[in-house]
């Protein structure tokens, strides 16, 4: 009898695990659709998408795009508590930043709990902690990817400006707005957690949901280390699209829809999707 039970468990356990991951992946996709809708509700209210970050005219104040859309993801109370005269890592915003916001987390990703905040890339702040986020935007594209001899532009402006939908000339259904970029503050390459974060860009500074959560998009070699090669999805969570799903990761498009992109997607297609006005053919993706 014990042997029979053991056999049944061995048969059923993988199916149960797959069902659980399917549910987590579905929730992750739903989150990204909600974020896409929030961007459009923000656009309706303000005339454009929020920039990647806002500094409010001062180097000592600032927040990422995620803080700007809080009222549109049913987090108006957190938005009202946020002190926009301070930065996200300042103690005045501590209660907001350490609050878990479920729509900014993917259930498939590891949960590191609260993570110490940093001021800039390296200065760790004592006693200031924040909850992490698993989704990010692109503020620059690797300079090697050019359109008509100039560095290609992503969907959102980097700082202190409204992103007009009319500027997305490739079409909102052909331009990526949000990526999964999960796993921070830890460094993951091809599904493997690295022993250190050496080689990772801003591992902690970009970890928190309230931080700027934007990056210069890179492509990677197959081993996930050297940049400038053909791999863009699930290669490295330093500066690429990265999710904890088998075979790919999610993105939100500028029309508010969300979809799963496979790891085999050609890098040229990915960069074309990231460019807002390159007029590149993308075909099916």
Q: Please answer whether residues 279 and 264 qualify as being in contact, where contact means their C-beta atoms are separated by less than 8 angstroms.
A: no
Mean pLDDT for 45-54 is 93
Question: What pLDDT sits at residue 17?
Answer: 62
Mean pLDDT for 199-211 is 90
Question: What pLDDT sits at residue 77?
Answer: 98
pTM of the model: 0.90
Q: Please answer whether residues 123 and 152 qualify as being in contact, where contact means their C-beta atoms are separated by less than 8 angstroms.
A: no
Nearest to residue 69, comparing CAs of 38, 46, 106? 38
Q: Is residue 205 pLDDT above 90, yes or no?
A: no
Instruction: Work out the percent of the chain whose per-residue pLDDT is above 70.
Output: 90
Could you report the per-residue pLDDT of 157-173, keeping only the tens digit for each?
Answer: 988 889 999 999 999 99
Q: Residue 118's pLDDT band (boundaries 50, 70, 90)?
A: confident
Q: 139: helix, coil or strand?
A: strand
Q: Please answer whether residues 274 and 141 qualify as being in contact, where contact means their C-beta atoms are separated by less than 8 angstroms.
A: yes
Nearest to residue 97, comparing CAs of 122, 137, 133? 133
Nearest to residue 67, comparing CAs of 56, 79, 85, 83? 79
Q: Is residue 1 pLDDT above 70, yes or no?
A: no
Tokens found for residue 80: 């009202």
Q: Residue 14's pLDDT band (boundaries 50, 70, 90)?
A: low
Nearest to residue 134, comparing CAs of 27, 229, 232? 27
CA distance 285 to 283: 6
Question: What pLDDT sits at residue 23?
Answer: 83
Tokens found for residue 89: 């890592």
């Amino acid at each position: 009898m014990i042997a029979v039970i053991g056999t049944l468990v061995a048969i059923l356990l993988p199916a149960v695990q797959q069902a659980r991951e399917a549910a987590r992946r579905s929730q992750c996709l739903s989150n990204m659709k909600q974020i896409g809708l929030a961007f459009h509700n923000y656009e309706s209210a303000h005339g454009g998408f929020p920039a990647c970050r806002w500094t409010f005219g001062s180097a000592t104040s600032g927040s990422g795009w995620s803080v700007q859309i809080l009222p549109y993801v049913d987090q108006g109370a957190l938005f009202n508590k946020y002190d926009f005269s301070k930065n996200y890592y300042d103690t005045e915003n501590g209660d907001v930043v350490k609050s878990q916001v479920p729509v900014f987390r993917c259930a498939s990703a590891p949960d590191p709990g609260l993570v110490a905040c940093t001021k800039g890339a390296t200065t760790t702040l004592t006693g200031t902690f924040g909850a992490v986020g698993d989704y990010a935007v692109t503020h620059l594209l690797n300079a090697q990817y050019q359109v008509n001899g100039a560095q290609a532009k992503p969907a959102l402006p980097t700082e202190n400006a409204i992103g007009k939908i009319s500027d997305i000339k490739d079409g909102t259904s052909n331009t990526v707005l949000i990526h999964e970029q999960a796993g921070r503050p830890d460094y993951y390459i091809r599904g493997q957690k690295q022993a250190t974060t050496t080689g990772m860009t801003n591992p902690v500074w970009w970890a928190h949901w309230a931080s700027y959560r934007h990056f210069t998009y890179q492509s990677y070699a197959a081993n996930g280390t050297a940049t400038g090669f053909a791999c863009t999805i699930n290669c490295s969570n330093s500066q690429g699209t990265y999710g904890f799903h088998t075979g790919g990761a999610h993105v939100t498009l500028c029309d508010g829809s969300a979809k799963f992109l496979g790891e085999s997607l050609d890098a040229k297609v990915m960069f074309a999707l990231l460019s807002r006005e390159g007029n590149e053919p993308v075909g099916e993706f």
